[in-house]
């Protein structure tokens, strides 16, 4: 049985919480080492009148087994990881309803949110979607073959091309986005508007340094390798 299907255990407090997690699902308490090796641990749900989840059990078990470690980061990041899995399932379902894979929507949405005339260079697309040049070329080929995008000469670069969102591609992207937002709204039903705003602000604080680092790496990559310090800049062998 999957972890999502496990019934919520009766409220447990103190030392009984850990033993309860190990013996859940049996008629009588048995030693923890008697459970099957592949059995998923149950979780106690609410405790002390507060809402509980599997991460509470995870943290409690690690605190008991490794009291020498600070496991508090798990309180945040394990929940982020679990939410990411739920979001991934919601995204896949929303896109599949419109015949799209996730990577297809990523490319289409990158073009759609640019506004008219909905076009980008292949280089801008790969930076927006965080993939390699070879991968992006293959993805553009596949999207073009289904009529969702088209290639046009770049009027500012005779050797370059622009990837343009077709009318059909725009319609598919819009419909998939609408369904995705419905699914994402359902994931957030447990929070009111103020809580959503607060959570968004906290996640922004956590994520902003990573985004800034990524932008800096992109800029360094486009600028090329820095000149060696042991010889004058521009020196050629």
Q: Quick: pLDDT tens for 169-201.
A: 999 999 999 999 999 999 999 999 999 999 999
- Rounded Cα–Cα distance for residues 203 and 9 (Å): 31
76-84, long-range: CB < 8 A, 24+ apart: 79/53, 79/55, 82/54, 82/55, 83/187
- Rounded Cα–Cα distance for residues 70 and 77 (Å): 13
Chain centroid offset of residue 7 CA: 27
Question: Among 15-19, 56-60, 233-237, which is the least confidently predicted range?
Answer: 233-237
Pair 164, 120: CB distance under 8 Å: no
- Rounded to 5°, angle at Cα 108 from 107 and 114: 100
Share of the chain above pLDDT 90, in %: 55
- Rounded Cα–Cα distance for residues 118 and 113 (Å): 7
- Rounded Cα–Cα distance for residues 171 and 112 (Å): 10
Q: Where would I find the H helices in 97-146? A: 102-112, 122-129, 133-145
Predicted pLDDT of residue 164: 96
Based on DSSP, count helices (H) and strands (E) in the chain, helices before strands. 8, 3
**pLDDT category of residue 34 using cuts at 50, 70 and 90:** very low
Predicted pLDDT of residue 157: 82
Question: Among 48-57, 146-155, 178-187, which is the least confidently predicted range?
Answer: 48-57
- Rounded Cα–Cα distance for residues 108 and 91 (Å): 14
- Rounded Cα–Cα distance for residues 117 and 133 (Å): 23
Secondary structure class of 38 (helix, strand, coil): coil
Q: Which residue has the higher pLDDT, 130 or 194?
A: 194
**pLDDT category of residue 203 using cuts at 50, 70 and 90:** very high
Residues 6+ apart with CB under 8 A from 165: 108, 111, 112, 118, 119, 148, 149, 173
Q: Across residues 209-215, what is the average pLDDT?
A: 82
**pLDDT category of residue 69 using cuts at 50, 70 and 90:** very high
DSSP assigned state of 188: T
**pLDDT category of residue 1 using cuts at 50, 70 and 90:** very low
Pair 35, 18: CB distance under 8 Å: no
């Amino acid at each position: 049985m999957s972890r999502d299907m496990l019934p919520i255990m009766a409220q447990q407090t103190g030392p009984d919480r850990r033993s309860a997690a190990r013996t859940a699902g049996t008629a009588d308490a048995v030693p923890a080492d008697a459970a099957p090796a592949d059995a998923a641990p149950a979780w106690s749900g609410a405790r002390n009148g507060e809402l509980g989840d599997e991460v509470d059990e995870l943290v409690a078990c690690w605190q008991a087994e490794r009291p020498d470690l600070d496991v508090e980061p798990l309180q945040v990041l394990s929940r982020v990881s679990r939410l990411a899995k739920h979001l991934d399932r919601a995204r896949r379902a929303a896109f599949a309803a419109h015949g799209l894979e996730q990577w297809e929507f990523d490319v289409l949405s990158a073009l759609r949110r640019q506004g008219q005339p909905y076009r980008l260079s292949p280089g801008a697309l790969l930076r927006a979607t965080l993939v390699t040049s070879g991968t992006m070329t293959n993805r553009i080929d596949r999207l073009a073959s289904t009529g969702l995008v088209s290639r046009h000469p770049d009027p500012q670069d005779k050797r370059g091309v622009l990837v343009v969102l077709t009318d059909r591609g725009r319609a598919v992207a819009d419909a998939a986005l609408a369904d995705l937002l419905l699914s994402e709204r359902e994931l957030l039903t447990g929070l009111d508007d103020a809580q959503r705003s607060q959570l968004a602000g906290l996640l922004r604080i956590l994520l902003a340094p990573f985004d800034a680092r990524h932008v800096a790496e992109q800029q360094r990559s486009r600028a090329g390798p820095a000149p060696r310090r042991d010889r004058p800049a521009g020196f050629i062998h």
